[in-house]
Amino acid sequence: SLDGPVWYFAYGSNMNDLLPRRQGPGVTEVVTGTRNRRRWLPWIGGLLGIAALAWVLRGFDLDRFLAILAGADARFVALVPLAIMGEQFVRAWKWRQLLSPLRPIGTLYLFGTIMAGYLLAILVPFGFGTIARSWLVARRETLKLPSVLATVALDRLTDGIVFACLAPVALLSVVFPDPTGGIRAGLIWGSAGSFALFAVALLALVGYRRGALSPGGRLARLLGRLPTRLGEPTRRLAASFAEGIVWPSQAWRGIGIVAASVAIKLIAATHFLWAGLAFGVVIEPGQYLFLIVFLGFLIILGHFARVAGSFIIGAVFALGLFGVEEEQALAMVLIVEAANLLSIAAIGALSLWWQGVELGELREPKGEDGGRCV
């Protein structure tokens, strides 16, 4: 996600620089209180995660779990990382289509860059991975960093709209115990709200492009009122981002972008298919799609609530709705998680090494030889 200001993550500013410097009655206390709350949030989220995991695993049998792991079919286990890599390769192809108005770039290179971004997101949270992978592309292709970031924004928005459209399909294709109707109602309202939010955001990007690139646009006029020292860099930054908000002119590319978004979700559902087959667990096809939709919403909620382990908790709970025993469900989820982390670590590290990039270099983008900010 595009968390925080672009320039903050691009140049590695210290968070303390964003805190108020004024001193006076109440100011120091407010800043101190904010820091204390932030310090406690991870601990609270961790405790909530442990409590939720204990609840979904309340009938857990450790000996049976170990026996299930020992009996895993290695052939199906090996298919999980292959499915993960296949999903990200499709995502790389989709990103290539979005980047095509700026520069033709190879899918294989973008695949490695995406995996490198995921690796960096694990090492440095708060959206750094998105900035880093955009910078890697901008650096190699001598593009403007904000322009590449704009293509990532289009990628996320199209993904979000397709995801919201798949939610009703997933709900109609499954039956699960929901006495109060709360789960279905939450997913219906969540998908409707998400669709509206993503659609509005997409329209806002279109309006932003017109306003930023047109000399008589509202945004251009607004920035023109700023002092020259601040206004000129801001105008360049706004224009650079707007230049990346371009939908490919070829119809087949546009159709391919939407089709790739659908394929990404369907391939993601097969992660649980292969992990389940490794332990002899098979559920209905629509239930795999429901898993992806349910986990998508739950992970977003867990991110904002700072609840640790949202993916594991949600997956075990959702699989339990379809009659999968706790030990089997946890084994499936851990296989998917382990395959995901190992794939990201191996390919991401290889991609960074191949590009000759060190972590310290990501904090200091370099003028014309690297990705330009404006």
Q: What is the pLDDT of residues 21-48, one digit of tens each?
A: 444 555 455 445 556 566 676 677 677 7
Percent of the chain with pLDDT over 90: 44
Directed axis angle between helix 128-141 and helix 107-123, to 10°?
Answer: 140
pLDDT band at 3 (very low <50, low <70, confident <90, very high): very low
Q: Residues 132, 135, 141, 143: is their CA dihedral positive or negative? A: positive
pLDDT score at 339:
96
Model confidence pLDDT, tens digit, residues 93-135: 999 999 999 999 999 999 999 999 999 888 876 667 888 899 9
* Mean residue pLDDT across the chain: 81
* pLDDT digit string, tens, across residues 253-286: 999 999 999 999 999 999 999 999 999 999 998 8
pLDDT score, position 122: 85
For residue 229, with 0-12 CB atoms within 10 Å meaning exposed, 13-18 middle and 19 or more buried, which class applies? exposed
Q: Which residue is it, tokens 């998680």? A: 337
Rg, Å, the chain Cα set: 23
Residue 368 pLDDT exceeds 50: no
Q: How far apart are CA 204 and CA 42, in angstroms?
A: 33
* pLDDT over 70 at 359, yes or no: no
Question: What does the pLDDT read at residue 223?
Answer: 64
Task: Specify the long-range contacts of residues 210-214, CB closer than 8 Å, at least 24 apart.
Answer: 212/238, 212/239, 212/241, 212/242, 213/239, 213/242, 213/243
Region 169-173 average pLDDT: 84
- Which pLDDT does position 47 carry in this prediction? 79
Quick one: pLDDT at residue 264? 96
* pLDDT for residue 374: 39
Higher pLDDT, 372 or 67: 67
pLDDT band at 10 (very low <50, low <70, confident <90, very high): very low
pTM: 0.80
Q: What is the DSSP string of 106-141?
A: -HHHHHHHHHHHHHHHHHS-TTHHHHHHHHHHHHHH
> What pLDDT shows up at residue 110?
96
Domain borders along the chain are: 6-363
